[in-house]
A and B are shown apart, each in its own frame.
Chain A
Amino acid sequence: MATLAYREIGGKSGRYWALVIGSGALVAAGLGAALYMRAHGHHVTGMTNQIVWGMPHVFAVFLIVAASGALNVASIASVFGRSPYKPLARLSGLLAVALLIGGLWNLVLDLGRPGHLLDAVMFPQWRSIFAWNIYLYTGFLVVVGFYLWFLMERRLERHSKTIGLVAFLWRLVLTTGTGSIFGFLAARRAYDTALLAPLFIILSFAFGLAVFLLVLITASSALSRPLGERLLKRLKGLLVVFVAAALYFVAVYHLTNLYRAGYRGIESFVLVSGGVYTLLFWVIQVGVGGVVPLVLLLTAKTRLARRMVVASAGVVVGGLAQLYVLIIGGQAYPLRLFPGFVVHSSFYDGVIHPYVPHWPETVLAVSGVGVTTLIVLIGVRLLPFLPASLADEAIDVHGHKGRPAQAPKSVVPSP
């Protein structure tokens, strides 16, 4: 039986090296920014005792949430038996690993004392969801590493369903853990809800698939490798469902808060009077990240691949805005120590806390994307992650449900 071939990329073009050098420069700049912050203290950033977590955390959470979502494409193939997605499984796994490492890069380099990090392993505190996440993240890397190995080693491929199931369950727990980092913060009105865990899971589906599509379509175009229209349509359908589901969960989150006593202040802040946060919520998160992609995918008549790139970019930008509103807006709204009273203090009780990102934390934040990009670039250069062809005929060979298998012309026999 003919099988689909995967092939490393040549990696000799000027564009490839420009990308490698660009992302490498970003990584170096991020490392420099982190060392600068370490040497001078966090006062060189816009983060304060009120806005405790800033830009590095927005990007880190996005990358980590997207990491678990990027693995979904592989899961759909391995766990749910949808064979048309199988050729995409390797890239899905690679992206998941790269995105997670990019997110962890941000988190670790932002720590005040990263040198003490080993203490989290030496003295684990199981009551802390943060401690749980350390194991969930490192475990995810190990599980997906094995998953990739099983996918790429033909003798082990028949077991890939089992390890794929483990990876799928692991990623669900991982995203639950990431959402719970915020959901367990009972004191802060924007976070105090168990809904954040499932919200983060559905966000991960949308963010991860958007990043995956950006990489897949860009790579196929740059490498002139065929990408079938039917496969794109399937992926488009998935993206539509995920983006719509994310919008639904966001609506439930806000409606629930509007219904709960004591939460109308934070809702009024985010939805109506929060200035930049309100703008980001309605225009970027809901508009650019939700409505525009849905309209583009469902109604526009231009070339599908182009629409999907624009829609995916919208989902990514909207996702970053969403996490900015949630993470930073949630801290900007003051803690309510004395409900019903007007409060003043030298520590800024009772006032909206301003946040202006400074260059060190912004550079560090963006460098996480650089780390992810660099890992993907090196990965596809060294190992056969990308299929030689994703033409529809090639995918049909792998048992496209409801269609008879054909012997397509574009299929390359395995070496």
Chain B
Amino acid sequence: MTDPDSFVPQDTKAQAESEDSCDVGRRRLLAMAGGVAVLALAPGVTVWARTMRAKGLVDAHPVRYGLLIDANHCQSGCDACVRACNQYNGLSGQTGPDNAQWIRKVTIQDPKTGFTRTFPVMCQHCAKPACVAVCPTGASFRRADGIVLVDKHRCIGCRYCLMACPYQARSFVAHKVDDQKPWAPRGKGTAEGCTLCVERIDRGKLPACVAACARRGHKAMLFGNLHDPQSAIAKRLAQYASTTIRADLGMEPGVHYRGI
């Protein structure tokens, strides 16, 4: 029997086998024992690794992109982030119930005190995203750097992710899509949401919404690597109190908020 993994030339191996069949038997026994050991240990190691990762003891990836949105600096009446997103990603900007919106300005008001705040809400790029958990095909997925995306080639358009997302951050493409941007492919009949402008990030640029906010001088949106203690976003999060939306659901959003 030939061993495809062997680096020993076959003719030499045959000669060795004929000379010392006892040695071959021992080798086979060792190989089998090794295989059995791997089979026995693999599930345990996998469970251990998952547990460690879940506890945050093993960092899966040195990069986790996220946002810090400071509602104290977000201006009422300004929708530069929304318009920049629509323009960059080729969205119509229409706001009918069947139009896609990747980012929206939300206004909240405390009915008892009248306290009002306005700020953008988009896909929260969760560490444990419900949209990924419920997707039957794996079309909803999370990149190693924490960005949650939809693979349009796998999406069956069942909309279960729209049902599951607590942030109403997913949209369904219910209209024909014309003039698509090459960097933001869309497809009628598929789900979609904020990509954090992944193509810009991969080129070292800020997401369109963050860049637009900065151009306005509002500085309400800060983008960066949450896992890098030296990054501006990590330092700001360490310095000031912040929160995430529906933190009680345990999805660990990558978008943090101040002032709400």
Contacts and interface: CB of A to CB of B under 8 A. Distances in A.
Interface of A: 38, 40-43, 47-53, 111-114, 116-117, 119-120, 123-125, 127-131, 134, 181, 184-188, 331, 335, 337-338, 340-349, 353
B107 interface: yes
B107 A345 contact: yes
Given A344-B107, A347-B168, A349-B168, A130 B130 contact: no
Interface of B: 82, 95, 97-101, 104-111, 121, 130, 133-139, 153-160, 162-168, 170-176, 187-191, 245-246, 249, 260
Contacts of A111: 156-158, 189
B189 A41 contact: yes
A163 B171 CA distance: 44
Given A41-B188, A52-B172, A111-B156, A337 B137 contact: no
17 contacts: A41-B176, A50-B168, A52-B159, A113-B187, A113-B189, A128-B136, A130-B135, A130-B160, A185-B163, A186-B249, A187-B130, A337-B167, A337-B168, A337-B246, A342-B108, A344-B106, A345-B106
B155 A116 contact: yes
Contacts of B163: 52-53, 185, 188, 331
A376 to B, nearest CB: 27
A112 B166 contact: no
Contacts of A128: 133-136, 160
A337 B106 CA distance: 10
A47 B171 CA distance: 12
Given A341-B108, A342-B111, A48 B98 contact: yes
Nearest to B177: A41
B166 A52 contact: no
B137 A120 contact: yes
A187 B247 CA distance: 11
A109 to B, nearest CB: 11
Contacts of A125: 135-138
A15 B65 CA distance: 66
A346 B107 contact: no
B165 A48 contact: no
A343 B160 contact: no
A346 B110 CA distance: 19
A288 to B, nearest CB: 28
Nearest to A334: B168
B121 A345 contact: yes
Nearest to B110: A341
Contacts of A134: 136
A185 B166 CA distance: 9
B175 A43 contact: yes
Contact of B157 (A40, A112, A349): A112
A123 B154 CA distance: 9
A174 to B, nearest CB: 16
Nearest to A38: B189
A346 B160 contact: no
Contacts of B105: 345-346
The 4 closest A-B pairs by CB, nearest first: A112-B157, A112-B189, A187-B166, A48-B97
Contact of B172 (A49, A120, A186, A347): A49
A186 B130 contact: yes
B176 to A, nearest CB: 6
Contacts of B189: 38, 41-42, 111-113
Tell which of A111, A130, A181, A348 has the most Cβ of chain B within 10 Å.
A130
A43 B98 contact: yes
Contact of A49 (B106, B138, B155, B171): B171
